Amino acid sequence: MARRATFIAQQRAQNQHLLVLDAGDALFSDRALTQASQGALIIEAMNMMGYDAMVLGEQDLRLGPAVLRERMKEAFFPFLSANVRARGEGHLFAQPYTLVDLGGRTWAIVGLTGLPPAEVAGLVVDDPVGAAREWIPEAARQAEVLIVLSHLGWSQNILLADMFPEVDLIIGGGAELARIQQATSAVTGSQLVQAEFPSAGHAGRMIGRWQVGFSNEGRLIVGEWQVVGLEPSYADDPAIVQLLTRYTDH
């Protein structure tokens, strides 16, 4: 986390407009500190790094609705999922999408959670495609650029890109390892990438950077997706180191 904070700070200094997003499963970790704090450490660090939004992943749901509600209160940014509900309740558990003003344009960010392999206590995950049909058009009507933060996996994200011409960019997470990390839908022209594949003991050691721009006519121009390894050349951010020390000393 300390190197990630340094990388994000460098990008913020170099780029006038920056979105910092998480593609899911940020809160449930194999790391002892994260487990002991039930994700509170992660949220505090993400607040310090200036995240704009995160989507709920299937592993995040294992924390349960009560703990997740506490983490949502602590976060300075929205938790997104257009297809997770508390069991026995009709309304969504998190926001389906958020709107961000960036560079003189409105960006919509829609969150979709993948179907878990087993029932999750206290939470229900609805069909993500049905949820996409409901919420993507609504979000698109309010924005000039639409991003989907998806934890469905690469195969489902390909299908999603082919189905929704309103979608400009899909940033995907999930346990499915993609053969490639960037693609364009031949049907709609939607662009999609696969964020870091999380493996035990190694999550968080990579970060994706996607540079996009606009032509003089206002057309979105999508550049190359780059996955950056957070090597020792990125110094540990002192504030994050202090945060980790505080949790270690508890």
Over the stretch 169-226, which tens digit does the pLDDT of each residue have? 999 988 676 666 899 999 999 999 988 655 554 556 789 899 999 999 989 999 989 8
Over the stretch 220-246, which tens digit does the pLDDT of each residue have? 999 989 888 888 888 999 999 999 888
pLDDT of residue 10: 94
Over the stretch 81-102, which tens digit does the pLDDT of each residue have? 999 999 988 899 999 999 999 9
Q: Give the pTM.
A: 0.93
pLDDT of residue 195: 80
For residue 164, pLDDT over 90 is answered with: yes
User: How many whole angstroms separate alpha carbon 203 and alpha carbon 246?
Assistant: 21
Over the stretch 141-158, which tens digit does the pLDDT of each residue have? 999 999 999 999 999 999
For residue 12, pLDDT over 60 is answered with: yes
Over the stretch 13-64, which tens digit does the pLDDT of each residue have? 999 999 999 999 999 766 666 677 888 999 999 999 999 999 999 999 999 9
Residues in the chain: 250
pLDDT of residue 203: 55
Q: Which CATH number fits domain 2-249: 3.40.50.2300, 3.40.50.300, 3.30.470.10, 3.60.21.10?
A: 3.60.21.10
pLDDT of residue 42: 93
pLDDT of residue 191: 95
- Burial grade of 247 (CB within 10 A; 0-12, 13-18, 19 or more): middle
pLDDT of residue 37: 82
pLDDT of residue 177: 65
pLDDT of residue 135: 98
